[in-house]
Amino acid sequence: MKRMLFAILLAAAVIGSCTFQTPKVERLHVEGTTLVNESGETVELKGMSFGWNVLWPRFYNADAVKHVVQDWDAELVRAAIGVEIDNGECQAQCYLKDPEFGKQCACTIVDAAIANGVYVLVDWHAHGLHTDAAVEFFTYMANKYKGVPNVIYEIWNEPSYKDHVNQIDYTWAEIKEYSETVIAAIRAVEKDAVIVVGTPRWSQNVDDAANDPIEGYDNLMYTLHFYAGTHKEWLREKGDYAISKGLALFVTECGGMNADGQGPIDDESTQAWIEWMDENDISYAFWSISDKEETCSMLLPSAASEGPWADSDLRPWGKYVKEQL
């Protein structure tokens, strides 16, 4: 009887360990202008970004990540950790006010991505320059997830105006100096993780970075963002130029509507962008898992925080993205 009981317990332990084993992903690195796996094969990741964590914290949970991976076939998720925002009571939870909340949201998405065997962008979702806070955040994340191949660090979402009144952009020189500081902090802990660097004017002017790229580090990529209703061939030409100069690009955020998140979905322009990204093996994340009344939100308020989401819970953009993935 004891032997039989031991055998039953052992079998249960084996079955349990097999059932709950965490899926593994390969370590990615940058070769030339492309992202590749451990075998040197080109990788193009496709997925979506969660909305600002300070505006839609209800979707920052493990079940929501599991749903977009299993039901939408996402290979990539993005945690958009809001650093600063002018939005009344939500401002109290921005990273500059409540860094622990930001870390909690980031780790929830990262842990869920690891559990579901997909990659995750840890996005410093800022428009302004906050070097010290960024160093502290990425040092924490790099220590917590040292050696974990799922994690990709996006160190500045969209550098925009340093002077909003006069609409003066951050220059590439300023962005580069900031980026080198943050990269050094990450590399002091994590030697191999892919790091994505923001570019001027809401991460559009990749040509500026191409003319003076960051040197001395491997596994760097550069951010290009587009919204297909606003951004056309002229922005793809900037991307082509950057690629011709040897830059590896990552479209960490994109949409099929206007740059303000509104307006109709421009299917022709969106498809032109998708074809261009596929031709150049550029990974991308659609914006966003949120329920705001705007075109770029994928969900209706009826959508449960944890999923699953029926088609009746999806806005047109959500249905579009689900079909694309």
158 is catalytic: yes
246: left (phi over 0), alpha (psi -120 to 50) or beta: left
Q: What's the pLDDT at 159?
A: 96
Q: Which of these is catalytic: 38, 136, 158, 190?
A: 158
Return the SS3 of 254: strand
Do residues 123 and 157 make contact, with C-beta atoms less than 8 angstroms apart?
yes
Do residues 212 and 172 make contact, with C-beta atoms less than 8 angstroms apart?
yes
Q: Of the CATH numbers 3.40.630.20, 3.20.20.80, 3.30.540.10, 3.40.640.10, which one belongs to the domain with range 25-324?
A: 3.20.20.80
Residues 6+ apart with CB under 8 A from 179: 155, 156, 197, 198, 214
Side chain identity at residue 119, one-letter code: Y
253 is catalytic: yes
Q: What's the pLDDT at 11?
A: 45
Q: What's the pLDDT at 165?
A: 83
Cα gap 244→24, rounded to integer Å: 34
Query: Each residue's pLDDT tens digit in the chain (325 positions)?
Result: 334 333 434 444 444 434 457 899 999 999 999 999 999 999 999 999 999 999 999 999 999 999 999 999 999 999 999 999 865 556 789 999 999 999 999 999 999 999 999 999 999 999 999 999 999 999 999 999 999 999 999 999 999 988 878 889 999 999 999 999 999 999 999 999 999 999 999 999 999 999 999 999 999 999 999 999 999 999 999 999 999 999 999 999 999 999 999 999 999 999 999 999 999 999 999 999 999 999 999 999 999 999 999 999 999 999 999 999 9
Cα gap 282→33, rounded to integer Å: 9
Q: Where are the beta strands (DSSP E) in 164-299?
A: 168-169, 195-197, 220-223, 226-227, 249-255, 284-289
Q: Which of these is catalytic: 253, 275, 293, 294?
A: 253
Q: What's the pLDDT at 89?
A: 53
pTM of the predicted protein model: 0.93
Take residue 22 and report the two structure tokens written for it. Answer: 């965490």
